[in-house]
Chain A
Amino acid sequence: MTDFEALIRLLAGSGVEFIMVGGAAATAHGSARLTQDLDIVYRRSPENIARLAACLAPYHPYLRGAPPGLPFRLDGDTIERGLNFTLITDLGSLDLFGEIIGGGRYEDLQRDTIELALFGVTCRCLGLERLIEVKRAVGRPRDLEAIAELEALRDEREGQDLSRS
């Protein structure tokens, strides 16, 4: 089980620059679907990579689904050499994306984010419209229902806004 609260507090509390995307971002926007992991797009600056590696190290990050005993160590060099990592940690499943299909890198997504005050920290989450756009760009059949739900959430929000005006 993924401890979203602990992971978000850890990342944001350590000063990691990241944007919540995927199912967790959908949850933030009101999705009722179950998601099992925290997906984040992280800024690929040397300082941020160092912060990310350092804060995760005590929680034994390892490649999710890989056989045990591989010579894998998530340090700054590993993150510099790679881009996207699908991890299991002591706090649960965490996917690190240096770049996402249809969205690009942290800097490309930043302007379409919202700031959330969550679990005593502040973190960035991809905005609903951009989240829909990214999910559409990925084009996976299994995402169709998720996209439909996100668009329904958008309709509901717009309905609320209209009823308030």
Chain B
Amino acid sequence: MNAKQPKRAEPDSVIEAYKRDIDRSLLRENLRLTVEQRFRNLQQLQRFADELRTAPRRSDP
């Protein structure tokens, strides 16, 4: 998946700060998958998020 790369922007200190909190183990896992598998995982994540959104809460009356 190599495109001809545009010129890279200078590092941004705010983004660098955010980068420290990125879970790179998840990214490494994803990079081992095919693009199709990444999209299937996204669909599963969407389904899970939908389930959570619609799940009845114990504290609900």
A→B interface (CB under 8 Å)? 1-5, 24, 27-32, 34-36, 111-114, 116, 118-119, 127-130, 132-133, 136, 144-145, 147-149, 151-153, 156-157, 160
Contacts and interface: CB of A to CB of B under 8 A. Distances in A.
A130 B5 CA distance: 7
Interface size, B (range) = 35 or more
Interface of A is mostly: helix
Given A129-B3, A133-B9, A152-B27, A35 B42 contact: yes
A32 B3 contact: no
A34 B29 CA distance: 16
B38 A28 contact: yes
B28 interface: yes
A114 B5 CA distance: 10
Given A114-B2, A148-B18, A129 B23 contact: no
Given A114-B2, A116-B35, A127-B5, A152 B24 contact: yes
Contacts of B30: 30-32
A129 B1 CA distance: 12
Given A129-B8, A130-B3, A36 B46 contact: yes
Contacts of A160: 31
B46 A119 contact: no
Contacts, number: 102
Contact of B42 (A27, A128, A129, A157): A27
Contacts of B15: 144, 147-148, 151
Given A136-B12, A151-B15, A28 B39 contact: yes
Nearest to A92: B46
A100 to B, nearest CB: 14
A146 to B, nearest CB: 9
B58 interface: no
Nearest to A31: B30
A159 to B, nearest CB: 9
B5 A129 contact: yes
Given A35-B42, A128-B3, A129-B8, 4 more contacts: A2-B46, A24-B42, A112-B3, A114-B2
